[in-house]
Amino acid sequence: MTGTRQQLHNIGRRRAYAIWATALAVYVLAVFHRTSLGVAGLLAAERFDISASQLATFTVLQLAVYAAMQIPVGVLLDRFGSKALIVTGLVAMTIGQLWFSVADSFAFALAARALLGAGDAMLFTSILRLIALWFLVRQAPVVTQLTGMIGQMGAVAAAIPLSAALHTWGWTMTYATAAFLGVIATAAILLVVKDSPYEKGAVERIKIRALRHSLTEVWRDPGTRLGMSVHFATQFAPTVFALLWGYPFLVSGQGLTPTQASALLTWMTIVALFVGPTIGRLTAIHPYWRSMMALGVVGSISLVWAIVLALPVRSPLWLLIVLVSVTAFGGPGSMIAFDLARSFHRSERYGRASGVVNMGGFIASLTTMALIGYVLDRMAPGGPETYTLDDFRVAMSSQFLMWGFGAWMIWRYRRHSLRRVARVPGAFEALRDGSTLLPGISRDRDED
- Looking at the fold, whether 124 and 250 belong to one and the same domain comes out as no
Residue 274 located in a structural domain: yes
Residue 1 located in a structural domain: no
Residue 231 located in a structural domain: yes
- State the residue range of the domain holding 296: 213-448
- Looking at the fold, whether 192 and 218 belong to one and the same domain comes out as no
Burial 383-394 (b: 16+ CB within 10 A, else e): eeeebebebbbe
pLDDT digit string, tens, across residues 110-127? 999 999 999 999 998 899
Residue 4 located in a structural domain: no
- Looking at the fold, whether 85 and 179 belong to one and the same domain comes out as yes
Residue 204 located in a structural domain: no
Residue 198, strand partner residues: 7
- Looking at the fold, whether 273 and 154 belong to one and the same domain comes out as no
Number of domains, the chain: 2
Residue 438 located in a structural domain: yes
pLDDT digit string, tens, across residues 10-49? 777 889 999 999 999 999 999 888 888 766 766 787 888 8
Residue 230 located in a structural domain: yes
What is the per-residue pLDDT for 206?
Answer: 53
pTM of the model: 0.77
Top pLDDT among 238 and 199 is at: 238
* Phi, psi torsion values for 329, nearest 5 degrees: -60, -20
Taking the CA atoms of 126, 130, 132 and 137 in sequence, report the sign of the dihedral they define.
negative
Residue 203 located in a structural domain: no
- Looking at the fold, whether 314 and 412 belong to one and the same domain comes out as yes
CATH number for the domain including 189?
1.20.1250.20
pLDDT category at 153 given cuts 50, 70, 90 is: confident
- Looking at the fold, whether 165 and 246 belong to one and the same domain comes out as no
For 336, how many CA atoms within 13 A lie in the half-sphere containing its CB?
37
pLDDT digit string, tens, across residues 183-209? 999 999 999 998 878 766 544 455 555
- Looking at the fold, whether 149 and 287 belong to one and the same domain comes out as no
- Looking at the fold, whether 179 and 275 belong to one and the same domain comes out as no
- Looking at the fold, whether 153 and 80 belong to one and the same domain comes out as yes
What 3-state DSSP class applies to 198? strand
Q: Look at residues 149, 168, 197 and tell me which one is the last residue of a structural domain.
A: 197
Q: Look at residues 146, 172, 197 and tell me which one is the last residue of a structural domain.
A: 197
* Phi, psi torsion values for 198, nearest 5 degrees: -105, 165
pLDDT digit string, tens, across residues 349-399? 777 887 888 889 888 988 888 888 888 888 888 777 788 899 999 999 999
pLDDT category at 145 given cuts 50, 70, 90 is: confident
Taking the CA atoms of 20, 26, 28 and 34 in sequence, report the sign of the dihedral they define.
negative
Chain centroid, CA 32 distance in Å: 13
- Looking at the fold, whether 125 and 266 belong to one and the same domain comes out as no
The total number of residues shown for the chain amounts to 448
Alpha-carbon span 443 to 422, nearest angstrom:
15
- Looking at the fold, whether 242 and 183 belong to one and the same domain comes out as no
Q: Are 122 and 186 in contact (CB under 8 A)?
A: no
- Looking at the fold, whether 160 and 219 belong to one and the same domain comes out as no
Q: Give burial (CB, 10 Å; 0-12/13-18/19+) of 351.
A: buried
Alpha-carbon span 254 to 246, nearest angstrom:
10
Tally of CB atoms within 10 A around 368: 23
Residues 6+ apart with CB under 8 A from 7: 197, 198, 199, 448
